[in-house]
C-alpha cells in the first residue's frame, strides 16, 4: 500500500479535512463522502468515541478509511472473479482476532469480503489425494429458509438433481415430488474429503489467518492512500502511538 504522509499532527489534520478522496483501489478513487457517511453512522451508535480533533479521532478516521478501502478491494475482487455474493457467518471474537480489526469490520459490513474469503482460501487444500464429496449450502422451501450444508442426499431426488446442474444462486422449482412442490437455492458448494479428519482439511482459524495475509498482500499491490489516511499502525505517521 503506497502513501505519502504528513509529518506533523497539524498537517495530518489539515490533510484529512481537505481530502476529496481517501485513496485509490486499482487507481479508482474512493470518495471522502463514503468515509463521512460511515463516521456519521458510527457516531450515532452507543459507546465512547474519541473527541473530534484529537489524535485518537484522527486514528479512528484512518481506521475507518482502511475498512472502506478493504471493502472496495473485495467488491472489485468479487466482481472480477464473478463470485456469488450471499450472506456469510458472523465472526466470533476469536475469529475477529484472527482476521484483524480492519478485516473483521469489513467482513461485517460488506458481504463481498466473505465471498472472496471462500474463494481464495477454500476449506480443503488444493493438494488432496483422498476422495472428496461435494457439499452444498442450501435454502429450502417456499420461504427459502437456510438449512445449512448438505450433500443433497436428504432432499427429494428430482430437486437434488436439478440443484446439481443449476447455476449457484438460482431458484430451482417448483419441482413436484411426493404430491408437493419443492423449491430451493444452492448458494455455494465445496468439495470436502470423505474422511473429515484428513489433514488436508483446514480449520476456519487457519483459513482466516491465511486470508488476512492475502488481504495484506492485495492491499499492498492495489491500494494507495491519500495523505492523512495512512494505516493507523504505521509508525511513521504522526498520530501513531505504537512506536519502536
pLDDT band at 244 (very low <50, low <70, confident <90, very high): very low
- pTM for the model: 0.65
Closest C-alpha to 59, from 50, 67, 68: 50
Q: Are 19 and 36 in contact (CB under 8 A)?
A: no
Contacting residues for 106 by C-beta, under 8 A, at least 6 apart = 67, 70, 71, 74, 113
Cα separation, 126 vs 123, in Å, equals 9
Cα separation, 54 vs 36, in Å, equals 17
Is the predicted pLDDT of residue 85 greater than 70, yes or no?
yes
- The pLDDT of residue 211: 92
Q: Are 182 and 221 in contact (CB under 8 A)?
A: no
Count of C-beta atoms within a 10 Å radius of residue 171? 11
Residue bearing cell 463522502:
33
Average the pLDDT over each of 92-96, 122-126, 184-188, 220-224 and give the range with the smallest value.
122-126
Q: 144: alpha, beta or left, given left = phi > 0 and alpha = psi -120 to 50? A: left
> How does pLDDT run across 182-239, given as a tens digit for each residue?
999 999 888 877 765 444 556 777 888 889 999 999 999 999 999 888 888 777 776 7
> How does pLDDT run across 10-23, given as a tens digit for each residue?
887 787 888 899 99
Cα separation, 75 vs 56, in Å, equals 29
- The pLDDT of residue 217: 92
> How does pLDDT run across 25-61, given as a tens digit for each residue?
999 999 999 999 999 988 887 777 888 878 888 889 9
Is the predicted pLDDT of residue 97 greater than 90, yes or no?
no
Average pLDDT over residues 80-87: 88
Q: 161: alpha, beta or left, given left = phi > 0 and alpha = psi -120 to 50? A: alpha
Which grid cell sits at 238? 504522526
Contacting residues for 17 by C-beta, under 8 A, at least 6 apart = none
Is the predicted pLDDT of residue 175 greater than 70, yes or no?
yes
Burial class (CB in 10 A: 0-12, 13-18, 19+), 211: buried
Order the strands of the 223-225 sheet from edge to edge: 28-31, 21-25, 223-225
Which grid cell sits at 122? 477454500
Q: Are 121 and 104 in contact (CB under 8 A)?
A: no
First and final CA of the chain: distance in angstroms?
Answer: 21
Amino acid at each position: 500500500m503506497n502513501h505519502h504522509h504528513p509529518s506533523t499532527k497539524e498537517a495530518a489534520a489539515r490533510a484529512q479535512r481537505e481530502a476529496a478522496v481517501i485513496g485509490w483501489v486499482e487507481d479508482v478513487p474512493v470518495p471522502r463522502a463514503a468515509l463521512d457517511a460511515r463516521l456519521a453512522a458510527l457516531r450515532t451508535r452507543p459507546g465512547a468515541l474519541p473527541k473530534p480533533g484529537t489524535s485518537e479521532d484522527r486514528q479512528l478516521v484512518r481506521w475507518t478509511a482502511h475498512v472502506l478501502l478493504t471493502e472496495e478491494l473485495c467488491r472489485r475482487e468479487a466482481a472480477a472473479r464473478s463470485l456469488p455474493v450471499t450472506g456469510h457467518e458472523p465472526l466470533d471474537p476469536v475469529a475477529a482476532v484472527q482476521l484483524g480489526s480492519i478485516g473483521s469490520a469489513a467482513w461485517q459490513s460488506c458481504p463481498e469480503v466473505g465471498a472472496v474469503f471462500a474463494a481464495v482460501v477454500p476449506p480443503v487444500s488444493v493438494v488432496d489425494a483422498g476422495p472428496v464429496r461435494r457439499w452444498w449450502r442450501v435454502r429450502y422451501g417456499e420461504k427459502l429458509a437456510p438449512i445449512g450444508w448438505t450433500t443433497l442426499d436428504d432432499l427429494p431426488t428430482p430437486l437434488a438433481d436439478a440443484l446439481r446442474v443449476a447455476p449457484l444462486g438460482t431458484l430451482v422449482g417448483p419441482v413436484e415430488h411426493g404430491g408437493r412442490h419443492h423449491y430451493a437455492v444452492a448458494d455455494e458448494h465445496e468439495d470436502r474429503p470423505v474422511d473429515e479428519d484428513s489433514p488436508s482439511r483446514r480449520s476456519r482459524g487457519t483459513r482466516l489467518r491465511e486470508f488476512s495475509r492475502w488481504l495484506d498482500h492485495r492491499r499492498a499491490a492495489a491500494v494507495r492512500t491519500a495523505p492523512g489516511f495512512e494505516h493507523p499502525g504505521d509508525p511513521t505517521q504522526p498520530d501513531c502511538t505504537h512506536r519502536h
